[in-house]
Each structure stands twice: as structure tokens, then as C-alpha cells.
Chain A
């Protein structure tokens, strides 16, 4: 199985400041035939299912604010929130869909400082 490791486990950022969450996979998620990284990012708030933010490592899902961006390639990825809003408090997960089973990171809890 591909192991997904997120860092940090928790993060406190001031409103309006930048937040960055890292995700490292135990093997490359880059599919050479289409030059796509098979990685997604999700946001989960208490009592709710996860919500898709980013797929292909850097493509924002429809309706997601542009303060959310994804970057990285191969085995190292980052989710960045450019200007933290109060409603962004949540747990964030990365997921690889390069190979079965489609594994998730352990989650990063984002709070307001």
C-alpha cells in the first residue's frame, strides 16, 4: 500500500495569514502516460463528510474559493490557503488514487491562532 504522511498534524494560523499543509507519499503518484499526479485534497468539518477541494494535485474543484491551491509533483505535495478565513477551520486530508487501495493521509487539523 502507498503510505501517505501529512505534516504537521496540527496547525494554528492567524486570520488572513497563509496556511500550508504538506503531504508525502511513499512512492511517486505521477502517471507518466498523462503527466497527472493522482492526488486529491479534502476538507472535513465536524459532523460532515469530507469535501473535495483539489484533484490532479493542483486542479481546484468547481465552487472552491481560489484561496485554496495545490502544488507539488511526484511524491511531495502541498495544500496552501493563501488568506485564512474563519470558515477554513477543519481537518484536511490528502488521498492518493494512483493505486489500490486509495489511501489517505492521517489528517491535519487547522485552527485559528
Chain B
């Protein structure tokens, strides 16, 4: 059974670094793309980017200058780092598994979500 378990600090001050990790259980990282998405009342669901097991990465151009997604195949997990956070980065952050295009391309398994609040 595929499960994504995510964790990270939930309360940050402006200018600090957001750091989240998603551990994947029940399947190896290869053969899928591993995605970060955030959800806020003001902007709805926002796709941040995805990475595959070999480190191939695609970012949302609006965040590309700030965000880093990385993968650790030895631990079967992937991570998100977003430095210099501001109030606008307050959101629930989700990790998710994306099926590769030949299998449909949808996000078929999700982590439970982590509320990250940026406040001074």
C-alpha cells in the first residue's frame, strides 16, 4: 500500500527557510514523478514542481528562483526547501505522487498536508 508521510516545521518567521520532507512507503521512487503542491485561501491549489528518482526536476516558473526540490533514493524520500519565506507563503503544503504520462499523469497518492504559517 502506497503511503506518503510528510513532516516539517509549521511556524516560521519572515525570511526563514521552509523545509519539508516526504517519505514514500510501499513503492520505490523510480517510475513516478514526486510533486509538491500548496493550497492557500487566496491562491487555491498551486503546483510547485516535481522531481523524478534520477533528479530530473521541473519547477513552477513563478517559484523557480526560490524553490529547491531534491530526492534521496537511499531513504526513499524527497524534500522541498523555500528560503526567505513571507506571509504569502503561508499555506498547506502537500506532497504527491504523479503517474508518468503513459499511465495517465494524474496525482494518485497524496501526503496528509502540512500547514505552514509565516508570521512575525
Contacts and interface: CB of A to CB of B under 8 A. Distances in A.
Interface of A: 38, 40, 42, 49-52, 54-56, 59, 61, 93, 95, 97, 100-104, 106-107
Nearest to B107: A52
A40 B106 contact: yes
B108 A61 contact: yes
Q: Which secondary structure dominates where chain A touches chain B?
A: loop
Contacts of B62: 101
A101 B60 contact: yes
Tell which of B58, B61, B104, B106 has the most Cβ of chain A within 10 Å.
B106
Contacts of B106: 40, 52, 54-55, 61, 97
Contact of A104 (B45, B58, B96): B45
Given A49-B96, A55-B99, A101 B47 contact: yes
Contact of B104 (A59, A101, A104): A59
Interface residues of B, number: 20
Contacts of B47: 95, 101-104
A104 B47 CA distance: 8
A106 B106 CA distance: 18
Given A50-B45, A50-B110, A55-B106, A100 B61 contact: yes
B55 interface: no
Nearest to A106: B44
B94 interface: yes
B83 interface: no
Interface string B90-103: 00001010010000
A39 to B, nearest CB: 9
